[in-house]
């Protein structure tokens, strides 16, 4: 079901682009290219653990039932495998100090309580948000909080226990832009393995034309495609989502997307 392949990859040379994207102005965190080549490749057995975790991979699923060819692009990396170290100093259950070890039968470093021996797992967090469409414009919020204070974002935030992704996306849109939205459909999933986040972005529309900055926004505004402040976007995920959306709209073919953003630069900073 996959036809086009987008590999999104950041690196030491932030402004080098393998193939310039028409809508992607220079951004400090992103390199991108688009290709339509390559068979699926996701083979955990034949790859070493170190390479497996840090490959760039994006799959873009077309909303076309007649589409039967597929492909996943991959690129290897020589980055070390155990970059992520547990960030848990004390046990949540008994308060005892933890030690960082690889438990028997596992392959990853975990925080294990030295008192009650509980193993603490750290899992990726889901960030849910809306791409709100209104009169051929999209709704963006200027952030009033760190990180990326003063930069523009799609309304989005961490999903909570007790809500669905769609409910969380609508909640965040209401909290950040006071906008009462109707969720239309899933638009994109963007995994960012190196910071342990997965973005789930839904297409949505305003139920009424009202919106205003919430407590975490300096301002909110609707932008036509040519007005989007690409040089002042808060996150790589926002850039990629907007690029894919504009590309789809201009092609007259809205699709749902799955992709992975790798952030080597971030990683290099982490392991220094």
Q: How far is the CB of 54 from its own copies (least distance, A)?
A: 8
How far is the C-alpha of 272 from the C-alpha of 268, rounded, in Å?
Answer: 6
Q: Pick the closer one to its own copies by CB: 47 or 221.
A: 47
Site residues for its own copies, window 41-80 (CB under 8 A)?
41-46, 52-55, 57, 59, 61-65, 67, 70, 72
Site residues for its own copies, window 198-237 (CB under 8 A)?
198, 200, 203-204, 207, 215
Q: How far is the CB of 244 from its own copies (least distance, A)?
A: 14
Q: How far is the CB of 176 from its own copies (least distance, A)?
A: 12
Full DSSP string of 89-117 = -B-TTT-PBEEEE--TT--S-EEEETTT-
Full DSSP string of 26-52 = --TT-EEEEE--------TTTS-HHHH
Q: Can you tell me which of 26, 150, 196, 229 binds its own copies, judged by CB under 8 A?
A: 196
Q: How far is the CB of 55 from its own copies (least distance, A)?
A: 7
Burial class (CB in 10 A: 0-12, 13-18, 19+), 149: exposed
* Residue 16: partners with Cβ closer than 8 Å, 6 or more residues away: 31
Q: Can you tell me which of 1, 18, 145, 271 binds its own copies, judged by CB under 8 A?
A: 1
Site residues for its own copies, window 170-189 (CB under 8 A)?
170-171, 173-174, 180-186, 189
Tokens representing residue 201 in the block: 């972005």
Q: Pick the closer one to its own copies by CB: 31 or 173.
A: 173
Q: Can you tell me which of 15, 48, 135, 162 binds its own copies, judged by CB under 8 A?
A: 162
CA angle 108, 111, 114 (to 5 degrees): 130
């Amino acid at each position: 079901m996959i036809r086009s392949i987008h590999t999104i990859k950041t690196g030491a040379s932030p402004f080098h682009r393998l193939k310039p994207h028409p809508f992607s102005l220079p951004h400090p965190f992103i390199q991108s290219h688009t290709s339509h080549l390559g068979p699926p490749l996701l083979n955990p057995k034949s790859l070493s653990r170190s390479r497996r975790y840090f490959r760039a991979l994006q799959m873009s699923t077309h909303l076309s039932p007649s589409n039967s060819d597929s492909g996943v692009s991959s690129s290897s990396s020589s980055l070390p495998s155990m970059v992520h170290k547990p960030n848990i100093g004390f046990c949540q259950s008994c308060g005892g100090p933890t030690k960082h070890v690889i438990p028997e039968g596992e392959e990853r470093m975990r925080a294990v309580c030295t008192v009650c021996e509980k193993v603490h797992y750290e899992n990726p967090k889901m960030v849910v948000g809306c791409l709100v469409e209104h009169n051929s414009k999209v709704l963006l919020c200027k952030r009033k909080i760190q990180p990326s204070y003063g930069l523009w974002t799609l309304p989005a935030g961490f999903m909570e226990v007790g809500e669905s992704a769609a409910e969380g996306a609508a909640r965040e849109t209401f909290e950040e832009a006071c906008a009462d939205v109707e969720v239309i459909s899933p638009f994109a999933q963007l995994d960012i393995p190196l910071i342990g986040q997965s973005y789930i972005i839904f297409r949505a529309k305003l139920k009424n034309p009202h919106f205003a900055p919430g407590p975490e926004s300096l301002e909110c505004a609707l932008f036509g495609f040519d007005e989007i402040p690409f040089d002042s976007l808060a996150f790589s995920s926002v850039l990629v989502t907007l690029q894919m959306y504009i590309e789809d709209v201009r092609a007259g073919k809205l699709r749902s997307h799955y992709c992975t953003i790798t952030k080597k630069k971030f990683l290099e900073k982490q392991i220094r």
